[in-house]
Amino acid sequence: MVLSTGWSHDAETTKPVDKMHAHGTFEAHAHAGWESRYFSEGRDALDGKSLWTGTLELGYDHFSGGVWYGSSSDQNYDEWQYSLALTQESEGYEFYLGYTYLGFHKDNDSDSEWSAGISYGELPFALEASLDASYSMDAEGTFFEWSTGKEFNPNETLELSLSGILGWNEGYVSDGHDGLNFFALRTGAKANLSEKLSWVVHGSQSLAVDRDPRLSGDLQLKDFFHFGVGLEWTF
């Protein structure tokens, strides 16, 4: 739901659909993977259960769209996300405005979200920063994420990344506390197996901030580590 920054995109649950700026050409890629936990707004959304994911993303010039699916047999849980976005780049900045429809078919429930973000990729020491906001029409609240990171390229076939993420709730998690919610440290790797196929992996340590156990929306907001692995196809 947030802007894809310069480091490897691997469809982690916190940002399942990449917003691509395709520079006048058509781009497409698909991702299939497994997540040890469903990380969402700093929360362990499935209470320690794992999640299988799949993503298809398309981009042409300033427009992009994608479909993401997540399923957990442990929790009898599934979720679909259908996203559209408009992107623009200017002097090192990248902007986007997006819409996402979320369908929870087993629960007969749904939500719609509007999102916007900005990133800048020309900071000192080759750092990149982004600020993203998602507004839930169901909850009538917004969640903000600010991230800063750096990408390393040891060789032509390997990309490594390290980033930090801060999350701030303003009514998006309606039954959780407002204000700073979590801080996470994340590392990732992408290894090119061929011209079109890549292996991706990531790991994150999330730390809860100002958790209030009296609020039901904060019960899954806790300190935990999670990781994911997957394959990505470009075509």
CA-to-CA distance for 53 and 49, rounded, in angstroms? 13
pLDDT in tens, the chain (235 residues): 333 333 345 556 666 777 766 667 899 999 999 999 999 999 999 999 999 999 999 999 999 999 999 999 878 899 999 999 999 999 889 999 999 999 998 888 999 999 999 999 999 999 999 999 999 999 999 999 999 999 999 999 999 999 999 999 999 999 999 999 999 999 999 999 999 999 999 999 999 999 999 999 999 999 999 999 999 999 8
In this predicted structure, what is the pLDDT of residue 14? 61
Of 76, 69, 60, the closest CA to residue 17 belongs to: 69
Cβ proximity of 9 and 149 under 8 Å? no
In this predicted structure, what is the pLDDT of residue 148? 97
Q: Report all structural domains of the chain as residue ranges with CATH numbers, in order of start.
A: 26-234 (2.40.160.40)
User: Which position has the token pair 């050409």?
Assistant: 25
| Measured distance between the N- and C-terminal CA atoms of the chain, rounded to whole angstroms | 22
Which residues, in sequence order, are CB contacts of 54 under 8 Å at separation 6+?
Answer: 30, 31, 32, 33, 68, 69
Rg (CA), the chain: 17
Query: Hey, what are 189's tokens?
Result: 């790797």
Distances (CA, A) of 219 to 47, 109, 208, 210, 214: 10, 22, 11, 12, 8
Query: Hey, what are 205's tokens?
Result: 């340590």
